[in-house]
Amino acid sequence: MTRARAAAALAAILTAMLLQGAVIGPWAAPVPVSLPAVLVAAVALVDGPGTGMAFGFVTGLLSDLGSTHPAGVLALCWLGVGLVCGLLADRCSVRRDAATAAIVCAVATLAAAVLLAVLHADGASVTDGVVYALPAGVADSLLALAVVPVTRRFLHSDHLRAPRAPTSELSMAGHRG
Q: What is the pLDDT of residues 119-158, one digit of tens each?
A: 888 777 888 888 888 898 899 999 999 999 999 999 888 7
What is the percent of the chain where pLDDT is above 70?
90
Q: What is the pLDDT of residue 174?
A: 54
* In contact, 52 and 86? CB cutoff 8 Å: yes
* In contact, 57 and 75? CB cutoff 8 Å: yes
Q: What is the pLDDT of residue 121?
A: 80
Positions of the chain with pLDDT lower than 50, given as ranges: 177
Cα–Cα distance for residue pair 84/91, rounded to 1 Å: 14
Name which of 75, 50, 70 is nearest 122 in CA terms.
70
pTM summary value: 0.86
Q: What is the pLDDT of residue 164?
A: 66
Q: What is the pLDDT of residue 133?
A: 85
Q: What is the DSSP string of 116-134?
A: HHHTT-TT--HHHHHHHHH
Per-residue model confidence as pLDDT tens digits over 31-43: 889 999 999 999 9
Peptide bond into 49 cis (omega under 30): no
Q: What is the pLDDT of residue 162?
A: 66
Q: What is the pLDDT of residue 85?
A: 95
Cα–Cα distance for residue pair 156/111, rounded to 1 Å: 31
How far apart are the two ends of the chain, measured CA to CA in Å? 32
Q: What is the pLDDT of residue 168?
A: 55
